[in-house]
Amino acid sequence: METIKRKEIITLALLIGLLPPIWAVASPYLGNSVGPIALICAGIYGTNGNKFEDAHKIALGYLAGDIWSIIATFAMRNNTLLNPDVLLFLLLFILGFLVVIISNKWDNIFHMPSWLAGWAIAMLTMNLDTVTPLANLSVQIGIAMLVGVYYVGALIDKIHRIINGR
């Protein structure tokens, strides 16, 4: 039994040591300046039990969070009416409220934790990078999120299961 566990740990370590660094090195050459987002996004896929049947709704949750970030960032950058703190509070309240309502109504489509995490990840990224055009940055974020779910999360899990005969 100990040998089986050791093999699983070593194969997982090798896969984690190999595949994410390939993305990390390749992403800037592919025009993606936010490649590390993939590693963050793989985390929710993993904490959800590496269930591939949920991969699509986790991915859609991330992409919805990316869209929420565009809305919030655009509103904050173009605000001329409200105190920025008041506007931020209102945006977070309204959009957060809608995440919960929408993701519970359509829980077979959207994964609420990935939507909320995706929104936070994208908002942080958009707040830190004010140089890259918002649409371009949003596409890069979305791609990195999908890479996190399907390449870092699902692919590594699938290869790991095959190698270990599960």
| Cα(134)–Cα(130) distance, integer angstroms | 8
**The predicted structure's pLDDT at residue 81:** 92
Give the H or E element holding residue 26.
helix 2-29
| Cα(76)–Cα(98) distance, integer angstroms | 18
pLDDT band for 165, please (50, 70, 90 cuts).
Answer: confident
| Cα(67)–Cα(126) distance, integer angstroms | 12
Lowest mean pLDDT among 1-10, 37-46, 62-71, 146-155: 1-10
**The predicted structure's pLDDT at residue 106:** 97
Dihedral sign for Cα 144, 137, 131, 30, please.
positive
Distances (CA, A) of 166 to 10, 51, 65, 96: 15, 14, 33, 39
Short-list 41, 34, 84, CA closest to 62: 41
The SS3 assignment for 143 reads: helix
Q: Which two tokens stand for residue 59?
A: 């991915």
Average pLDDT over the chain, rounded to an integer: 95
Mind listing the pLDDT tens digit for each residue in 1-18? Answer: 587 789 999 999 999 999
Mean pLDDT (whole number) for 124-136: 95
**The predicted structure's pLDDT at residue 151:** 96
Mind listing the pLDDT tens digit for each residue in 76-105? Answer: 999 999 999 999 999 999 999 999 999 999
Q: At what angle do helices 37-47 and 2-29 cross, to 10 degrees?
A: 150
Contact 156, 15 (CB under 8 A): yes
**The predicted structure's pLDDT at residue 1:** 58
**The predicted structure's pLDDT at residue 3:** 78
